[in-house]
Copies of this chain bind each other. A is one copy, B any other.
Amino acid sequence: MNHKSTSPTISDVAAHAGVSIATVSRVLNGTVPVQAEKAERVREAMAELRFIPRPAARTLASRKTNTIGLVFSEIRGAFFPHLLKGIEAQLHEAGYELLVYSTHSDRPIKRKPIGEHNTDGLLVFTTSLEKEEIARLYKINFPMVLMHETPPAGMDIPVITVENKDGAAMLVNHLIEHGRRRIVFLRGPEGHEDSQWRERGYREALAAHNISFDETLVSSGKFDQETAYHSMQKIIQDGVDFDAVFAGDDDASIGVYRALKEARRLIPDDVAVVGFDDVEFARYISPPLTTIRAPIEEVGREAVRQLLALLNGEQVQSLVLKRTELVIRQSCGCG
């Protein structure tokens, strides 16, 4: 009788199936057993009416959004799609929606467009969220998982990241084992955790081979080519003696390549170069770059797994380190 042009609601279904809306809700959610024959009638009615329950109404009534939020500060070139892919896939498998928020221009979020009101939990990539906001959410026990970032002191928030230290150590060990002794290291951005761990791996590998750490071989950078290019120029001009460069990451190694070529130093004959990340272009530059492959997509999936566990009140690991892998190509002088 009613030709409301608006799409059907739960009570339309109830009427159509001759049951109460409570019953429809129950077969919808499977919360409580419903007499088989009625359940069937309800399912038929839902199909016939093409009923789609409104998420807003469900959320309001149940206080669950069925959505999780992803916060990141920058869509960093080759890195990001893999992460997003892993997150997206794992999340939709579990029937959750994904709300995406970026804090542009490296400036952390000011207002709060994503949070408790919006989502059931948050996936936070590196330093995209202010410490205070993280603390606030932590205090109200809001489910969160951090990626590539250790939580502020005293907060027990699960972290997923990759074996930066081991990766760096593998790289440096490899260089040393092939006779390189004076290895330049280009740091990442100030306070960047990945960078700190990589430096630690660098130092440990040196120590393991009784090579003393030399401050003049280390330079700060930002995991980008431009800074790396200038850093290398300076090191060369300063007449620093070196036979290898651990560029910090793959992007930086492009800058390193450029500086070395301009200075007419041959890669890998004069100088071996290694990166970190194994981004797409690493195999296409010449010479192809020896680097570390990090399972980024898997980081995304794992982060989702942990968050879902948190949502289900299960026990979670406070730290998951994904293994990295040495990818030997030509820039290190072997392979």
Contact = CB atoms under 8 A, between A and B. Distances in A.
A101 to B, nearest CB: 7
Contacts of A56: 55-57, 59-60, 65
B60 A88 contact: no
Nearest to A7: B116
Nearest to A87: B100
A138 interface: no
Nearest to A105: B89
B102 A85 contact: yes
A155 B107 CA distance: 42
A279 to B, nearest CB: 8
Nearest to A281: B281
A85 B75 contact: yes
A189 interface: no
Interface string A153-194: 000000000000000000000000000000000000000000
Stoichiometry, copies per complex? 2
A80 interface: yes
Nearest to A83: B75
B81 A280 contact: no
Interface stretch (A14-22, A91-99, A227-235): A91-99
Given A78-B280, A284-B254, A97 B99 contact: yes
Nearest to A72: B88
A85 B73 CA distance: 11
Contacts of A114: 97
Interface string A112-131: 11111110000000000000
Contacts of A115: 52
A53 B117 contact: yes
Contacts of A101: 88, 92, 97-98
A104 interface: yes
Contact of A81 (B52, B59, B75, B88): B75
A89 B60 contact: no
B117 A54 contact: yes
A314 to B, nearest CB: 23
A227 B117 CA distance: 48
Given A54-B117, A117-B53, A77 B81 contact: yes
Interface of A: 7, 52-57, 59-60, 65, 67, 75-78, 80-82, 84-85, 88-89, 92, 97-102, 104, 112-118, 254, 279-281, 284-286
Closest 3 CB pairs of A and B: A281-B281, A56-B59, A286-B286
20 contacts: A7-B117, A55-B56, A56-B56, A56-B59, A57-B60, A60-B60, A75-B82, A78-B78, A84-B100, A88-B100, A89-B102, A89-B104, A92-B101, A92-B113, A97-B113, A97-B114, A99-B100, A100-B100, A280-B281, A281-B285
Given A97-B101, A98-B99, 7 more contacts: A54-B60, A75-B88, A76-B81, A77-B280, A78-B78, A89-B102, A99-B99
